[in-house]
């Protein structure tokens, strides 16, 4: 009797390993059987003092939120340390979520009166234009093209584009090595657009989310995932034996808070909120309890651009 060491045995084994890894990623844990990496510790998170914001008048967005009784804030739900939704409780956590909460408190809304709504990179401008969200906090780069469609408060953080590859890959060190490689990013994002225009020999693949790209990287269907270093570090930290971030960042991505284009009152108030929290130390505390867990020391917050 021949043993079943047929050519299918190996791929099947590899498939099983990939399935286990994906399950571990989905459940928010590291490798099966290992303790989960440190997540945001609720006790380390600041409590933002809710202000009386009745002196802020003339913002149609804020007026609508006040009569509705709660804010609706757009966010990401699959970006570790930045914006992540707990599938069991529906709760959102991460640095972007803390930024959204500190701004909410400054505008008079306690966290229980903020409803988060997941919006993918490609749909942010439409969501703000259609009034689906009051403001958006989700690794959202400020740039002139987007400013034609929406307004931006901030920046509140500066990231840079980088690359995530499999740990055993020694062929990719930077974007110059992407010729002929399958590279995945989120449609509608600045990293996607940069690869398309500056590295046209890469085989670019667009998905709605970066987590879909990471799944494809783990199962060998793409060779690299590209987006901001802050996002990639979170994925790498979840499966450090399988994935690594390579090369220095090759762009500047200033993160802003998206608001409806003509609501200048709201944009100014959010800028005030950011400055207030940067000065009182809550911005730093929020960073250290969230994104800081990926190993990055808290930077000095960038100056607010009141354009
Ligand atoms: N910061 C980049 C952007 O706004 C990439 C991250 C994202 O897609 O949210 O397009």
Q: Is 186 in the pocket of ligand 1 (CB under 6 A)?
A: yes
d(CA 233, CA 191): 15
Cis before 155? omega within 30:
yes
The Å distance, Cα 187 to ligand 1 centre, comes to 9
Task: Compute the distance from residue 52 Cα to the ligand 1 centre, in Å.
Answer: 33
Beta pairing class for 182-186 and 203-207:
parallel
User: pTM here?
Assistant: 0.89
Ligand 1 pocket mutation pick from 79, 140, 164 by most atoms within 8 angstroms of CB: 140
| Per-residue pLDDT band at 134 (split at 50, 70, 90) | very high
Q: Write the CB contacts of 7 (distance below 8 Å, at least 6 apart in sequence).
A: none
Measured by CA distance, the residue closest to atom 6 of ligand 1 is 139
Contacts of 64 (CB under 8 A, 6+ apart): 131, 134
Statement: residue 154 has pLDDT above 50: yes
- Distance between Cα 185 and ligand 1 center (Å): 10
- pLDDT band, very low/low/confident/very high, at 101 (cuts 50, 70, 90): very high
Selection from 249, 238, 254, 217 nearest residue 295 by Cα: 238
Summarize the chain as % helix, strand, coil (round to 5): 40, 20, 40
pLDDT tens figures, 213-267: 999 999 999 999 999 999 999 999 999 999 999 999 999 999 999 999 999 999 9
What DSSP string describes 49-109? PPP--TT----HHHHHHHHHTSEEEEE-SEETTTEEE-TTT--EESHHHHHHHHHHHHTT-
Residue 157 Cβ < 6 Å to ligand 1? no
- Domains delineated in the chain: 49-158+255-294 (3.40.190.10), 161-246 (3.40.190.10)
Ligand 1 atom nearest to CA at 188? 10
Secondary structure (3-state) at 158: strand
Mean pLDDT of the chain: 90
């Amino acid at each position: 009797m021949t043993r079943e060491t047929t050519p299918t045995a190996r791929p099947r084994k590899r498939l099983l390993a990939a399935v286990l890894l994906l399950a571990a990623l989905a459940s928010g844990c590291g490798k099966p059987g290992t303790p989960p990496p440190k997540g945001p510790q609720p006790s380390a998170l600041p409590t933002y003092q809710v202000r009386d914001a009745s002196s802020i008048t003339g913002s149609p967005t804020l007026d609508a939120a006040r009569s509705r009784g709660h804010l609706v804030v757009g966010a990401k739900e699959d970006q570790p340390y930045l914006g992540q939704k707990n599938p069991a409780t529906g709760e959102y956590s991460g640095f972007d979520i803390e930024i959204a909460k500190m701004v909410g408190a400054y505008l008079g809304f306690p966290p229980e009166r903020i409803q988060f709504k997941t919006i993918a990179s490609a749909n942010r401008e439409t969501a703000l234009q259609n009034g689906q969200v009051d403001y958006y906090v989700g690794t959202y780069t400020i740039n002139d093209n987007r400013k034609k469609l929406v307004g931006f408060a901030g920046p509140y953080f500066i990231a840079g584009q980088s690359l995530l590859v499999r740990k055993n890959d020694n062929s990719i060190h930077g974007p110059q090595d992407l010729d002929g490689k399958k590279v995945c990013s989120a449609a509608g994002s600045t990293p996607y657009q940069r690869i398309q225009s500056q590295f046209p020999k890469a085989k670019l693949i667009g998905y709605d989310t970066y987590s879909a790209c990471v799944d494809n990287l783990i199962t060998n269907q793409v060779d690299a995932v590209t987006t901001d270093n802050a996002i990639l570090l979170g994925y790498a930290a979840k499966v450090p034996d399988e994935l690594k971030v390579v090369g220095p960042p090759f762009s500047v991505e200033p993160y802003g808070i998206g608001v409806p284009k003509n609501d200048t009152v709201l944009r100014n108030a959010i800028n005030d909120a950011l400055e207030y929290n940067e000065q009182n130390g809550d911005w730093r505390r929020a960073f250290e309890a969230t994104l800081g867990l990926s190993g990055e020391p808290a930077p000095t917050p960038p100056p607010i651009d009141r354009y």
